Amino acid sequence: MEPNSEINVPQRLHRITSILSDQYGNPTLNNKPDPLDEIVFILLSEKTDEAKYTAAFDNLKKRFPRWDDVLSASAAEVEEAIKIAGMGKRRAELLLRLLRAIKERYGRLDLSALSSVTPTEAETELLKLPGVGRKAARCVLLYCFDIPVLPVDIHTYRLAVRLGILSRRVSYEESHTALPQLISPSLRRRFHVNAVAHGRERCFARSPKCDGCPLAEFCSHPQAVKPLPIDVRPDPIAIDLFAGGGGLSLGFQKAGFHVAQAVEKDTKAAATYHHNHPEADMIENDVDNLDPASCLQRIGLRTGDVTVLIGGVPCQGFSESNRRTRNSSNPSNHLYKKFIQFVSVMRPAWFVLENVAGLRTMERGVILQRIIEECSALGYKVEWKELNAVEYGVPQARRRIFIVGNRVNAPIVFPEPTHGRECKAFVTVRQAISDLPRLENGANVDRLGYAKRGRELSNYQRRMRASMSRTAEVQGNLVTKSSDIIIQRYRHIGTGENWEAIPSNLMTNYEDVSRCHTGIYHRLEWDAPAKVIGNFRKNMLIHPQQQRGLSIREAARLQSFPDNYEFLGSIGYQQQQVADAVPPLLAEAVANCIRWA
């Protein structure tokens, strides 16, 4: 039977998965094994027959009802329990090292903290444990936490190559990255569990049972039918213009994009970007001075190679708080034209242009309409939407416009809110920053230990601290030294109040107090999301309890930067970098819609 040449990759995968499911059954999605059981089970299964490692696991659980009991045992006692499978001292010692590492990292034998971080962060955490490789880490995430990653073992790899899903040029090591790019999240659990079953039942490395195989029409093995050639896609590539300190890049990186290049003219912001994204080619220059084709040549790419061009065009000219130069004569308002020039030369499959919500109303939307029309004239399907970061897990109400386009005729989908209304509750200021060090006005010690640890932490705090060791000190505990008159003003402002609560005799230096907007001298509320973290030093945003402004790290937390993301330069430069950034969690939500389009 000749394979159908009109069946594309997604259709083929759906058919293959359906055939396998009919043959071996669908996995029970409600069946979530304990993560600790799963990780030990996988450790025992390495290079061991199924019947043997299952017997070893059962014997281990019978001998030691709780995993804490195993920690109290000697290596010889653990070895005795698993000897039923012929396993020896090395496996017993590795098991003990694994359990000790888990207890040391999380304070107890429990991996539930992984549910509060991103899939990438959770996988990274698991890979730090002794004896845990990528297959084991992804099995735990997929089967215990319903995180739609794809474990790749020898069964799934062999089947993917024989069925033409992966090119034979892709090595087993490379397949851990390549195969998940080809299989949509909704198919991964069914595909994996049934591919493993098929590998054990029929698709052996030598002498596979090809007679009567339900997948023969897709198979390239010499005993079956030659398949369609399917090349594996490389990692999707992003280039970031007007990159700032890297918030937009971080979100796309978390979604699985390789950010190959970034452009930023500010020396301090470029240094911060390079410090946190050392793998990217950082061009420290004004975008106006650059030739897009030359930028591609620097990193060995050609026109059409870039998956997505991203950029947050400087927004001061579009901002609703800018009353003086918020019009088309402001030079900053024409930088979008340079972004469009890069689109026209680089021809990315997608582009994402991010800006303040004020772009929608400036000059009755003329600039926004021009961007849409000019990109449409280049052959791109273009749509825009205003998104509020607070609805995507960011502890801050921050409205931004995202203009998204593609030339591959793919549907443009914007992320659905995950927080608010009938979703999860909004993340509050307390849940975001209450574990950070207690500071004084003018605090100038950059690195300090956390104020809270362990069970006191919120899920958001665990997520922000996921890449930090238990004993680490967090960077960014710098606070602007406010004058005595400003501290006096702070004392009059209650939770959720602003400058209007300050007695008039303390505001005499303001020529016209009525021109102050509501964000000036605003004291954050513990149990609500923050106001927009704009220029939080000039706006005098006030800590919920303490008579001081926000630290760099507190503002970074409210922007959703993880604690291992460090800002460089003097305090003023760091404050500006944090304030100007796109919240990474919001960027990640947008990036995921493109990644899986």
Which residues are part of the catalytic machinery? 315
| Category of 287 on φ-ψ map: left (φ > 0), alpha (ψ -120 to 50) or beta | alpha
Handedness of CA 363, 367, 372, 373 (dihedral sign): positive
- From the list 372, 385, 381, the residue with the least C-alpha distance to 409 is 381
Cα–Cα dist 315/335, whole Å:
10
Residues 165 and 230 sit within 8 Å (Cβ to Cβ): yes
How many Cβ atoms from other residues are within 10 Å of residue 167's Cβ?
A: 14
Cα–Cα dist 56/40, whole Å:
11
- From the list 271, 260, 267, the residue with the least C-alpha distance to 296 is 260
DSSP-assigned beta bridge partners for residue 549: 542
Cα–Cα dist 377/204, whole Å:
53
- From the list 104, 106, 107, 85, the residue with the least C-alpha distance to 41 is 85
DSSP string covering 140-196: HHHHHH--------HHHHHHHHHTTSS-TTS-HHHHHHHHHHHS-HHHHHHHHHHHH
For residue 293, what are the contacts with CB-CB under 8 A and spacing of at least 6?
A: 303, 345
Handedness of CA 17, 23, 25, 27 (dihedral sign): negative
CA 462 to mean position of chain CA atoms: 14
Residues 238 and 215 sit within 8 Å (Cβ to Cβ): no
Query: Could you identify the residue written with the tokens 């939500």?
Result: 589
For residue 418, what are the contacts with CB-CB under 8 A and spacing of at least 6?
A: 391, 392, 393, 424, 589
Burial of 197 (0-12, 13-18, 19+ CB in 10 A): middle
Handedness of CA 212, 215, 219, 221 (dihedral sign): negative
Residues 293 and 335 sit within 8 Å (Cβ to Cβ): no
Token representation of residue 63: 């001998």
Angle 481-487-489 (CA atoms, 0-180°, nearest 5)?
Answer: 140
**Structure letter (DSSP) for residue 388:** E
Token representation of residue 388: 């509020």
